[in-house]
Amino acid sequence: MGKLYLVPTPVGNLEDITLRALRLLKEADFIMAEDTRTSGILLNHYEIKNKLIPYHKFNEHQQVAHYADMVAAAKSAVLISDAGTPGISDPGYLLVKQCIQNDIEVECLPGATAFVPALINSGFANDRFCFEGFLPQKKGRQKRIEAVRNEERAMIFYESPYRLLKALEQFAEAFGPDRMVCVSREISKIHEENYRGTISEAITHFTETGVKGEIVIVVEGNKTRDKGADEEN
């Protein structure tokens, strides 16, 4: 019976990978990758020659049982995403679930993920936080935002640079324009930016400067309490 390893890969700087991750990428029977072209850049950088198999969101639901059978038949297999930890807003969850159901051992290595440095760089209280990942592009987007309107923990969102301003405008409406926010982009890359300010200030900033790169938005939690509905006198 084979074993599935979920291996985090750098979100920006190619040096942000562990020695163990590199060893497993070399030794595995094959590597399942979200985008073989993107992953090929990383493997070429470290002179790793291994079999790459496409595993992305477009074939995940239809082929997950087949991929689990492939893992079972191998000694070891690795799953990687374009960047960060597989399964966190990236393909992987369904394969992990299928492998567990099939009594296939699964192990996820610790490593790179975008939201942790973004949360810490925000300067907001981070002993408790709420990870929301990507908002729906259209249907259900407003409903998801409304669901966390009164959230007291810091909230973390992933967003495309093409929808950043739309997200900030929706956040201003739901959370108020004066709520503090930190927008992190290009984490661990040369042009990394962590913009901190109110939501309205962030809208002005990115309207004037433009938006490039992958985005993580951290919204400070609601510090005001409406105790009327919760307290009993």
CATH code of the domain containing 69: 3.40.1010.10
State the pLDDT at residue 225. 59
For residue 9, pLDDT beyond 60: yes
For residue 157, pLDDT beyond 50: yes
Residues 83 and 173 in one domain: no
* Digit-coded pLDDT (tens) for 48-76: 999 999 998 887 888 899 999 999 999 99
Residues 99 and 194 in one domain: no
Which pTM value belongs to this model?
0.89
Q: What does the block give as tokens for 94?
A: 């369904």
How many structural domains does the chain have? 2
Rounded mean pLDDT of 99-128? 96
* Digit-coded pLDDT (tens) for 92-110: 999 999 999 999 999 999 9
For residue 233, pLDDT beyond 60: no
Going 103 to 109 to 113 to 116, the CA torsion angle's sign is positive
Would you say residue 225 lies in a domain? no
Range of the domain at 192: 115-219
Would you say residue 203 lies in a domain? yes
* Digit-coded pLDDT (tens) for 75-89: 999 999 999 999 998
Q: What is the DSSP letter of 217?
A: E
Range with the lowest mean pLDDT among 34-38, 54-58, 103-107, 149-153? 54-58
Q: Which residues are CB-contacts of 36 (< 8 A; sequence separation ≥ 6)? A: 52, 53, 54
